[in-house]
Structure 1
């Protein structure tokens, strides 16, 4: 079970975008996530008349390692760690480590 999933609101805890918040839009692989508005780079693109794209400098969101982001706890307004709790019916749910309350699926 991934502790950080698509749709979670996260806060960056390391790197040049430290302190910024965003929503995970894509899990690139087991250890990298793409967060909207975080880790933006300028990419120089060539025009492609077959696809109808124009050339120029485009801002693109690049993946960031999941160890550099933490889930955002709206109740406290801070970053929080994620734990896994097994309910009585055998179902596994994600919980905030600080308060123990269940993380709502967005």
Structure 2
């Protein structure tokens, strides 16, 4: 047993990892080792993880995440992050807005 790994790991966690790793025991071993290594080395990353916290909500309002499928066997799926596009006013919307605010000549 590695010193950074706990003595007992919950069965539910192993089962979730097994399903997420597409029933590959080697990938489960690697994933669990990486998870517990990260948790030991950087505990502040694993503490106070509130998915509804203001920092996470603010980030999700301004960012989009897209997970691409696995392209080839040795490569993992890609995660793309980009800022959310701001709503742009199209030319027709600008014309409509200007026409609503202009005085009508036929009403005089």
**Range class of TM-score, shorter chain:** under 0.3
Name which structure has the greater RCO, CA cutoff 8 Å, separation 6+. 1
Larger strand share, 1 or 2: 1
Q: Determine which structure has the larger helix proportion and give its number.
A: 2
- TM-score, normalised via structure 2 length: 0.21
Which of the pair has more CA radius of gyration?
A: 2
Normalising by the residue count of structure 1, what TM-score does the alignment of the two structures yield? 0.21
